[in-house]
Structure 1
């Protein structure tokens, strides 16, 4: 935790690690071969418990995630977005960029959502959504 500024607690599960730094929730997905609805629900429940249902802009690093089911994407776009004022998705491959763009265009998340390939740009964009 020493490498993060203003981080009080880091939560680790088999699927994610998350922390709040300078008013932005950081969620890093671990290696997941196929994100299904059950895993998606567990991740969102963990996030809501961790944030005490407070609303945050969210940096979401999905670099290690391999794929997701339609049900998981639908869930993340609707109920799974509760408590998130905006989402910045960090991707690093053209295949995942296509999948994430598909998610944004087809699933239409209910909050502002953008793709980024670098963390600094994502954090800069999320600043406008802090309360």
Structure 2
């Protein structure tokens, strides 16, 4: 599967070597509709197979409370590695992980290679 990017989408989804890579555009403000659309893409891409997913959230502007709640709903991801760069990214991820129970093992990383290593270790 190649890159999925509908007109106006705030994210792209790509499957590489059996893993999904969801990239949020820098500066976006993620609302509940955006989170639901992204999760629908993930579920469609997986079909009946569960896959590890790298979520690049570097420089996301904000995430609404309602959008965070969507990510607590089980989806086709088997493990989720949240990838960020800044202290703000870490705060957003830790807030989500502290308030919501993720539907599968989920961790925050600032290193892409460490995130990929953790994802592939769970395969």
Structure 1 moving runs of 4+ over 6 Å: none
Mapped partners of 1:106, 1:53: distance in 2: 29
Q: Give the gaps of 5 or more residues in structure 2.
A: none
Return 5+ residue gaps in structure 1 as ranges: 1-7
1:59 CA displacement? 0.5
1:35-46, aligned counterparts within 5 Å? Answer: 35-46=30-41
1:101 matched to which residue of 2?
A: 94
Give the Cα separation in 2 of the matches to 1:51 and 1:30: 22
The normalised TM-score by structure 2 is 0.89
Aligned residues: 121
Contact 1:15 1:32 (C-alpha < 8 Å) held by counterparts: no
Partner of 1:112: 105
Corresponding residue of 1:28: 23
Asked if 1:92 corresponds to 2:75, the answer is no
Q: Say whether the 8 Å CA contact 2:32–2:64 is kept in structure 1.
A: yes
